[in-house]
Amino acid sequence: MRTPIIAPSLLAADFSILATEIKRVSDAGATYLHFDVMDGHFVDNISFGLPVLQSLATKHHLINDVHIMIDDPRRYAARFVQAGAHIVTFHYEACANERDIKSVIASIVGTGGLPGMSIRPRTSVEVLLPFLKELHLVLIMSVEPGFGGQSFNEEAFERIKYLRKFIDDNGYKTLIEVDGGINATTGPLAVAAGADILVAGTYLFGHDDLDARFKALVAQK
């Protein structure tokens, strides 16, 4: 079974000591750092934006994995790359049509970033298929986007398996990322289903046994 990439989600970190929180997860073995950007429109919550990413981007060696839950990815996607994002993942549901999707992908690639696309739990996974060859990753939400601490929706396992088979059968290099309710039980099961990247927030941040929690996420089931 593949060893997953662990992407700690800053949404669950202590915002008053972000530099310290990033160092802790980096020392524990993180290679990605997940930023959840919310605009209060596409999702109800509001988090952080370009200034926070820009101020943190050069303060660590991790890959800045930015998930933009915003209404207008065409306007902002490239700006997040310019602010320090290595990967920018936007939502299928935020685009009106295929032309918009391709425009966002082109804007990310054109500014030196890697494109990702995400779908809400209620959106058919099949909408991702025409774009897989152009995407660095697809993000499967196992909770409704917008808030941390939700329980894992087990329907995500079948969506991951479906995508894993399609990607492998077509020889694509697209990675599968999973976000929402990831813990020591759901994380390894998601990897067994075919996930490459696990986004974990409340499971990691705010606990003293961080090293043990990282090891539990990569343990084989």
Residues acting as catalytic residues: 36, 179
Q: What is the DSSP string of the chain?
A: -PPPEEEEBGGGS-GGGHHHHHHHHHHHT--EEEEEEEBSSSSS-B---HHHHHHHTTSSSSEEEEEEE-S-HHHHHHHHHHTT-SEEEEEGGG-SSHHHHHHHHHHHHHTT-EEEEEE-TTS-GGGGGGGGGG-SEEEEESS-TT-SSPPP-THHHHHHHHHHHHHHHTT---EEEEESS--TTHHHHHHHHT-SEEEESTTTTT-S-HHHHHHHHH---
